[in-house]
Chains A and B, each alone.
Chain A
Amino acid sequence: MTTSLNTAALALGDDALVLSHRLGEWAGHAPVLEEEVALANIALDLLGQARVLLSLVGDEDELAFLREERAFRNTQLVEQPNGDFAHTIARQLYFSTYQRLLYGRLATADPRPGDEGREALRGLAAKAVKEVAYHQDHAEQWTLRLGDGTPESHDRMRTACDALWRFTGELFQPVEGVDVDWRELEADWLTSVSAVLDRATLPLPEGPRTTAWSAGAGRQGVHTESFGRMLAEMQHLHRSHPGASW
């Protein structure tokens, strides 16, 4: 495994791991029982992806439970707290669209038989792209219903889309080892998201898509405050019993 593929697997794996964790927080709190099942399905798909990706880099549990916050390479978008259902759906829309476009490209990349790491990534993408297509569909269906539902749901969805907009720029920061045209990816993402928002009678959010801080963002290990608490909860038990197996 080359360093650049480590970087790629870690970035994509952390995205999946962290978003899966956030979706797992919904268990027992979903707005309707059918949605308990749907959100858990998505969370389980993502967790499965995370385990494959992290295992390309090292021991999945060491990586998930023993790294410090600054060593995580996920984007800030996926670590954002669930908020209300509209925030969760907006986060899903932004992220699953990105993931579908990205994995679609990785899955159809030219094979390079000698390059094992790259082939592993391609194999994962080929399986994951089907899963994330479903995640995107789920997000799209709900965006339409919340955006074009009641005045209250419209307002909530609009607020959520606006609030998370500032985290969407980071998705297109090139990741070492991920060999795609990032500009084109971003353009496609914008087209796709705009079309869904338009059908949902929601305006495309305005304002910056990144923060002004030069320290960077999630891909540089710079996270938002709530992420530390999320990790504290996630890692506490594992860290309390060093060396134990479960």
Chain B
Amino acid sequence: MTAVTADSQEAYAAVFDAAVAADERIEPRDWMPEAYRATLVRQIAQHAHSEIIGMQPEANWITRAPSLRRKAILMAKVQDEAGHGLYLYSAAETLGVSRDELLDKLHSGRQKYSSIFNYPTLTWADVGAIGWLVDGAAITNQVPLCRCSYGPYARAMIRVCKEESFHQRQGYEALLALSRGTPAQHAMAQDAVDRWWWPSLMMFGPPDDESAHSAQSMAWKIKRHSNDELRQRFVDICVPQAESLGLTLPDPDLRWNEERGHYDFGVIDWTEFREVLKGNGPCNEQRITQRRRAHEEGAWVREAAAAYAAKQSDRNKGDESGKTGEATA
């Protein structure tokens, strides 16, 4: 490749800026600013990691699902999460990083995943609450990403969002069954919502005035709405849904504000958010340990398949050289 001179660098940057401004998609082989590439790698990787770590809290209930119908739904959902992880790793790989590299960074703690998965699933109702609240928050975050300026990410998100809508609905339905069930089931559902509500609000990230990456990402159209905007949208959606469920959201300050046309809500405990992010959540250690163990214990399997492929390829070469037996040195 020819060296990029300062002049052509400027020309490329102008083309890039114009494309972003015109709402065109940036594609893998287009020139892009290094910082844009780095931001995308960080964000897509974190997103992919969240999908595969996010399998754990729900897989925790596959073996205990209370009906065969629920068991099938949950298995399909956890499977989708592995699939979403794969779509996203594949989008990240178009930026010149390998999945192995990204997994290494996850395993060594150099890249993060969504903090929400550092909370435990203590009862069956948690599976419903995750579907309704956690997937609901994720969808609120992700729908705008379908229009993200980076083509492969936007395309992956379209696929993911299509599949996620089943996740949220199954969660809502599961909670509804509990809420309308026996008193014990209803209590189980309320307890789960009480535990998952605040962490779900934290999923939108720190308030706008403290968000480190937001402004630049908005300018690049990687991000389309601010953290607080999306959080408000989510709260507004959830309040009437909670009423239909017959469950209470654990916030005494939650009320309709006629003037704003939105629900006001209480103050989020950002200390907890920062602590969980730092590694002091209830499951940080457990999640990453399980992930690392699965990867390490799977090494011999991956090696075996690679070794077999190499042998097969040698054998095929042998066949092609006129079946003369041994290859000559």
In the assembled complex, which residues on chain A have CB atoms less than 8 Å from the CB atom of B307? 149-150, 153
Instruction: Assess whether A234 is in contact with B56, with CB atoms less than 8 Å apart.
Output: no
Instruction: Assess whether A31 is in contact with B298, with CB atoms less than 8 Å apart.
Output: yes
Given A47-B72, A153-B303, CB of A246 within 8 Å of CB of B298:
no
In the assembled complex, which residues on chain B have CB atoms less than 8 Å from the CB atom of A48? 72
The chain A residue sitting closest to B61, CB to CB, is: A237
Instruction: Assess whether A246 is in contact with B308, with CB atoms less than 8 Å apart.
Output: no
CB of B174 within 8 Å of the partner chain: yes
Given A47-B68, A149-B308, CB of A40 within 8 Å of CB of B290:
no
Instruction: Assess whether A41 is in contact with B79, with CB atoms less than 8 Å apart.
Output: yes
Instruction: Assess whether B182 is in contact with A27, with CB atoms less than 8 Å apart.
Output: no
CB of B35 within 8 Å of the partner chain: no
The chain B residue sitting closest to A153, CB to CB, is: B304
| Interface locus among B26-34, B82-90, B154-162 | B82-90
Instruction: Assess whether B177 is in contact with A245, with CB atoms less than 8 Å apart.
Output: yes
Instruction: Assess whether B300 is in contact with A156, with CB atoms less than 8 Å apart.
Output: yes
Interface string of B176-201 (1 = CB under 8 A from A): 01100110110000000000000000
- Give, as a whole number of angstroms, the nearest-CB distance from A225 to chain B: 17
Question: Which residue in A36, A60, A64, A243 is a CB contact (below 8 Å) of B82?
Answer: A36
The B interface is mostly helix, strand or loop, or mixed, namely helix
Instruction: Assess whether A153 is in contact with B301, with CB atoms less than 8 Å apart.
Output: yes
Instruction: Assess whether A28 is in contact with B78, with CB atoms less than 8 Å apart.
Output: yes
- Give, as a whole number of angstroms, the nearest-CB distance from A141 to chain B: 9
A31 to B293, CA, bound (A): 9
For chain A, the count of residues having a C-beta within 8 Å of the partner chain is 49
Interface string of A42-58 (1 = CB under 8 A from B): 01100110110010000
Given A31-B297, A33-B86, A37-B82, CB of A246 within 8 Å of CB of B177:
yes
In the assembled complex, which residues on chain A have CB atoms less than 8 Å from the CB atom of B76? 40, 44
Instruction: Assess whether A40 is in contact with B72, with CB atoms less than 8 Å apart.
Output: no
A246 to B74, CA, bound (A): 13
- Give, as a whole number of angstroms, the nearest-CB distance from A139 to chain B: 14
The chain A residue sitting closest to B305, CB to CB, is: A145
In the assembled complex, which residues on chain B have CB atoms less than 8 Å from the CB atom of A37? 79, 82-83, 86
CB of A162 within 8 Å of the partner chain: no
A146 to B290, CA, bound (A): 23
In the assembled complex, which residues on chain A have CB atoms less than 8 Å from the CB atom of B148? none
In the assembled complex, which residues on chain A have CB atoms less than 8 Å from the CB atom of B184? 241, 244
The chain A residue sitting closest to B287, CB to CB, is: A28
Given A153-B301, A244-B181, CB of A238 within 8 Å of CB of B67:
yes
- Give, as a whole number of angstroms, the nearest-CB distance from B173 to chain A: 10
CB of B225 within 8 Å of the partner chain: no
CB of B62 within 8 Å of the partner chain: yes
22 sampled A-B residue pairs with Cβ under 8 A: A17-B68, A24-B62, A25-B62, A25-B63, A27-B59, A31-B299, A32-B298, A33-B82, A33-B85, A35-B301, A40-B82, A44-B72, A51-B68, A85-B298, A145-B308, A146-B301, A148-B308, A150-B304, A152-B304, A234-B63, A237-B66, A241-B66
Instruction: List 17 extra interface pairs beyond A51-B68, A65-B66, A148-B308, CB under 8 A.
Output: A17-B68, A29-B294, A33-B86, A37-B83, A40-B76, A44-B79, A47-B72, A61-B68, A84-B297, A145-B304, A145-B305, A146-B304, A148-B311, A153-B304, A241-B184, A246-B70, A246-B177
Binding site for B on A (CB under 8 A): 17, 21, 24-25, 27-37, 40-41, 43-44, 47-48, 50-51, 54, 60-61, 64-65, 84-85, 144-146, 148-150, 152-153, 156, 233-234, 236-238, 241, 243-246
